[in-house]
A and B are shown apart, each in its own frame.
Chain A
Amino acid sequence: MTGAIWGACGVLFASGLILMVFRRQLLAMLLGLELMINAANIALVYYSSLFADAETMSVALLIIAVAAAEAVIGLSLIIQLQRSARPTDSASLRELFG
């Protein structure tokens, strides 16, 4: 069982990471981020039920809340970009250029 959970988590996390790093579409990057967060969350939930630990379960809930808040901020940033008629492509956002 543990192996299956670790496998699922690993696949989810890796696909999230690949989305984040290789895709330039901001929406896809946000999706990758959510995937990575939830991959970690699955492992947390599994271990909290394994050890019957309510405290860890509450941390999993907290992470869901944080992920939701982060999605809100990310989406609102993307909407702002769309409204200002800029492409939602990370290649066009070069403000950080040194």
Chain B
Amino acid sequence: MIEIPLAVFVLLIAPVAALLLGFFILRPAKPDWTHWPILASCALVCVASLALAARVYTGWGIDATIYTWMAAGNWGVPFGVRVDGLSASMLLMVSLVGALIQVYAVGYMKGDPGFSRFFLYFHMFYLAMIGLLLSNNYVQFYLFWEMVGVASYLLIGFWYEKEAPRKAAMQAFLTNRVGDFGLMLAVLILLSLFHGNTRFAVVFPLITAVNPSLIALVGLLLFWAATAKSAQFPLYFWLPDAMEGPTPVSALMHAATMVTAGIFLLVRSWPLIAAIGNLPELIGAVGAITAIGAAIIAATKTDLKRILAYSTVSHLGLMAFALGLGQVAPAMFHLITHGFFKAVLFLCVGNIAHALGKGSVEVCDVGGVAKKMPVTFACFSVGAISLAGLWPFAGFYSKDAILKAALHHGGMAAAAGLLIETLSAFYIFRMLFLTFLGPRTEQKGPGRAQEPGLMMRVPIVLLSLGALSAGWFFSHFSTMLSSGWPLRDGVAPLPEFSRTTLAAATAAAALGVLAAYWLTMMRPAWDWRWRRDHPHWEEIFQSDFGWKEVVRFFVHWFGGLAHKIGRDWDEKAWDGFIESTPSVARRLGEAGSALASGLINDYLWWMLAGTSLLLYAVIR
């Protein structure tokens, strides 16, 4: 029996206990206090994940099954934990960023009638992600994967009395179902291939020993699942619409708990995926397409949260792109730095929305906010510079590692890498300049906006420190990630820096920043003018280069098909069958009751026949 450290249990028990306490005791008695056990649980989770990360850093790791539910032979639903470099490093980021966002949410959601409900959902989201990261087998992974999906559905539709959040929640859930189905099929295939044992430690060494075409199918299905959860083309469209939820939800979903799950699935299954020829190339190509397309669309959006949403899609695409180049460590590292700076950016937008008293903020609602909200401005700048990938901020280190691999690969990959770099610098600085500087004549200006309370400022400042400094730990991260890795030859460490990459990355990012400065500050009306002069371009961007139309057509067609099947199959075939059952039952009953004549002698005949049969069976 392997000894499981207390910290692992704390990670799972603290959130569950906080949820139970909050739901059964505080919600009925004192709903305004629901956040206290939850914040305490966040603190415990952070301490536990720090302790685990410290141990993993020194080379420790664990993979143990705690308990098997419904065991039947080899089959069962095992519940285990796996703490290795991958899960511990991501756990550290998720627990810290998630905890800070929950502190922020206390300030943001204060006074909302659903305050206690919000915190219970929110913490369930957090718990689901922690459980997902700790899973040691695919079945358990699938369980938490679905729990993440349910929690996101509840939170996106948190303001359910309005129509848009309800629709967005349904869209997010259904789109995710399309992907989840892929994961379910993959898990079922793995279950049958490995006779019910889907532990990562069992599956990966045996990849080459089983049917290669089925394994290839599993790899494709896993990637399909990741495209839904991690918002990759073709299933990315739910994420921008998921902005209808409260801002802390968006922050948590984008930075820590939801969209990163898909990338985590790919990295976790990397030994499987890397063994399938051409699948990494496919992932890389899809990632590059997503990254470039979403970055262009992000540069044309006017809703602040939507700009950030497309930016997340673009960055997830960049991670998939890095994975496609075989760069697992840079992809994971970018996932972690992205978690920090994207959380800052979202929470800063949350501050502005909170100050203006609005759910969603358009570019024309703001302008010149920097004067009224200097702390928010400073934090947003840190996040933006980090996202653009300028030295020495966190984003620089992770993007640089990816870019280096792209340049090394050369050709299209190098061009794509540099284009993504320039575009992301452009859209985030466009957003920065449009929001915080000015105001321009088309904008309303900051009005009476002011900084929010301490509860909302402190988490942002702490997170922006993370967005500033997370990159400095790249060598530590590299050491940690390779500890307990399931690959036999280990994971390649993060590459060292080279002058050419640094120069190319900085030049590309600077180009983006300068272009943004020129188009928003030197010619302040540009953003409004091109929309007016070229309405068909605006239409193209609004429909995501026509993809939204394709999706709409597909949904329409599929809905029509379902309707047809529903009417024809349900009303005629199925209902006909149902309605015919009573008369069949009646006839059967009449035939049966004819046997029961009531005459004792007839019964005796039956008894004789039965006894004879029984005797025959015994004697034979």
Contacts and interface: CB of A to CB of B under 8 A. Distances in A.
Interface of A: 17, 20-22, 24, 29, 90-91, 93-98
B421 to A, nearest CB: 85
A17 to B, nearest CB: 7
Contact of A97 (B598, B601, B604): B598
Interface in B196-244: none
B581 interface: no
Contacts of B608: 17, 21
B600 A97 contact: no
A39 B604 CA distance: 18
Contacts, number: 34
Interface string B595-609: 111111101110010
Given A22-B601, A93-B598, A97-B596, 19 more contacts: A20-B601, A21-B601, A21-B608, A29-B600, A90-B599, A90-B600, A90-B601, A93-B600, A94-B597, A94-B598, A94-B599, A95-B598, A96-B598, A96-B600, A96-B603, A98-B592, A98-B594, A98-B595, A98-B596
B583 interface: no
25 contacts: A17-B608, A21-B601, A21-B604, A21-B605, A21-B608, A22-B601, A24-B601, A29-B600, A90-B599, A90-B600, A91-B599, A93-B598, A94-B598, A94-B599, A96-B598, A96-B600, A96-B603, A97-B596, A97-B597, A98-B592, A98-B593, A98-B595, A98-B596, A98-B597, A98-B598
Interface in B521-545: none
Nearest to B594: A98
Contacts of A20: 601, 604
Interface of B: 592-601, 603-605, 608
A90 B600 CA distance: 6
Nearest to A26: B600
Contacts of A95: 598
- The SS class assigned to the B binding surface is helix
Contacts of A97: 596-598
A97 B601 CA distance: 12
A21 B593 CA distance: 21
Nearest to A98: B596
A40 to B, nearest CB: 13
Contacts of B595: 98
A87 to B, nearest CB: 14
A98 B594 CA distance: 7
Nearest to A24: B601
A21 B606 CA distance: 10
A92 to B, nearest CB: 10
A93 B592 CA distance: 20
Contacts of A22: 601
Contacts of B596: 96-98
A57 B603 CA distance: 33
A95 B603 CA distance: 13
B540 to A, nearest CB: 76
B106 to A, nearest CB: 71
A47 B285 CA distance: 91
Contacts of B593: 98
B586 to A, nearest CB: 14
Contacts of A21: 601, 604-605, 608
A96 B598 CA distance: 4
Nearest to B596: A98
Contacts of B594: 98
A41 B288 CA distance: 94
Nearest to A96: B598
A21 to B, nearest CB: 5
Contacts of A91: 599
A30 to B, nearest CB: 12
A33 B598 CA distance: 20
Nearest to A93: B600
B598 to A, nearest CB: 3
A22 B605 CA distance: 10
A14 to B, nearest CB: 12
A94 B602 CA distance: 11
A65 B604 CA distance: 24
Contacts of B603: 96
